[in-house]
């Protein structure tokens, strides 16, 4: 049964004439009559009493008229409802946040977004950047913050850049210098981020390019713990400069890396070619407003 057939039948019933219904629908009367006959055959019931000159509906026809009228009215409001949804920012948004990036960037984004769109539920998941990329790629998360570059299955936009620094204890021999070459750290023990963090591979690869494989004493998912371990003279760490500025009372010294361009490139990612809800579009826009470089 096609909606067009129901529309033709309702028009015939309301006009009480095949001729007037055909004019109202801008179709020929033979085509209209054929549509009604096909509908009767499909339903296996008579819909119109043809024994009188004026169109009269059978009991089955009256039932079909009322049901068809309800169906067509509901269908007619679908575009209006869809347009309303597309204009109103509601729903749920799943955001992937690596712990380090989340502590630096997400609070301001969440505040500004929920201030404007209080009907949206922000559901956050904290994972390392590698896991966030994978979840966004598979559609399990709508959007994520990661260290760039990201996988080519994702749309990524750079929102922030920062330099890396070397952190050492104030008791460390290197604490007396202001800057150092990466290659000069080859004999040091390192405190590294967890392997699930994109920073792990980024920093390790720079060390390899400088001619050595870092001797990693500890891994951690917590950047503040990494600096505490450095302060306790258990190793040195390479971290984004912004993180070292967030801790007070930690007994460490920052050294500038002078011979290599190590950049902490933060981006926002979405799945390439995937549908983006109005809420997601607005979230991305707010991130760009606050952080885009």
Give 74's DSSP letter: H
Mean pLDDT of the chain: 88
Span 90-140, pLDDT tens digits:
889 999 998 888 888 888 999 999 999 998 999 999 988 889 999 999 999
Span 135-170, pLDDT tens digits:
999 999 999 999 898 888 899 999 999 899 999 999
The CATH label, of 3.40.190.290, 3.10.290.10, 3.20.20.150, 3.30.1490.270, for the domain at 90-293 is: 3.40.190.290
The CATH label, of 3.20.20.70, 3.40.1020.10, 3.30.420.40, 1.10.10.10, for the domain at 3-76 is: 1.10.10.10
Span 186-245, pLDDT tens digits:
999 999 999 888 889 999 999 999 999 999 999 998 888 898 899 999 999 999 988 877
Give the residue among 291, 274, 265, 270 at the shortest CA–CA distance from 151. 270
**Mean pLDDT, residues 252-266:** 87
Give the residue among 65, 69, 76, 66 at the shortest CA–CA distance from 36. 65
Domain range list for the chain:
3-76, 90-293
What does each C-alpha distance from 93 to 96, 135, 137, 258 come to in angstroms? Answer: 10, 14, 15, 41
**More confident call, 239 vs 83:** 239
**Mean pLDDT, residues 49-58:** 81
* Residue 238, SS3 per DSSP: strand
pLDDT of residue 260: 76
């Amino acid at each position: 049964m096609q909606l067009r057939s129901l529309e033709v039948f309702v028009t015939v019933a309301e006009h009480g004439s095949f001729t007037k219904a055909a004019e109202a629908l801008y179709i020929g009367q033979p085509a209209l009559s054929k549509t009604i006959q096909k509908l009767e055959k499909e339903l296996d019931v008579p819909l119109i009493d043809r024994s009188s000159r004026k169109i009269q509906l059978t009991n089955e026809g009256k039932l079909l008229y009322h049901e068809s009228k309800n169906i067509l009215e509901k269908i007619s409001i679908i575009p209006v409802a869809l347009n309303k949804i597309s204009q109103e920012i509601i729903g749920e948004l799943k955001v992937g946040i690596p712990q380090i990036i989340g502590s630096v960037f997400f609070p301001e984004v969440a505040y500004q977004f929920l201030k404007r769109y209080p009907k949206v539920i922000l559901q956050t998941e904290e994972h390392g950047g590698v896991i966030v990329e994978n979840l966004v790629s598979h559609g399990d998360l709508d959007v994520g913050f990661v260290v760039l570059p990201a996988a080519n299955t994702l749309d990524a936009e750079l929102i922030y850049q920062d330099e890396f620094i070397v952190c050492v204890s104030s008791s460390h021999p290197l604490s007396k210098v202001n800057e150092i070459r990466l290659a000069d750290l080859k004999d040091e023990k390192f405190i590294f981020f967890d392997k699930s963090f994109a920073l792990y591979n980024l920093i390790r690869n720079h060390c390899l390019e400088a001619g050595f494989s870092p001797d990693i004493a500890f891994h951690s998912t917590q950047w503040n713990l990494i600096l505490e371990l450095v302060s306790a003279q258990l190793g040195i760490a390479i971290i984004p400069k912004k993180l070292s500025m967030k801790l007070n009372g930690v007994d460490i010294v920052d050294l500038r890396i002078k011979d290599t361009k190590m950049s902490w490139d933060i981006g926002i990612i979405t799945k390439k070619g995937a549908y983006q809800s109005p809420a997601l579009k607005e979230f991305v826009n707010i991130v760009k407003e606050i952080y885009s470089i």
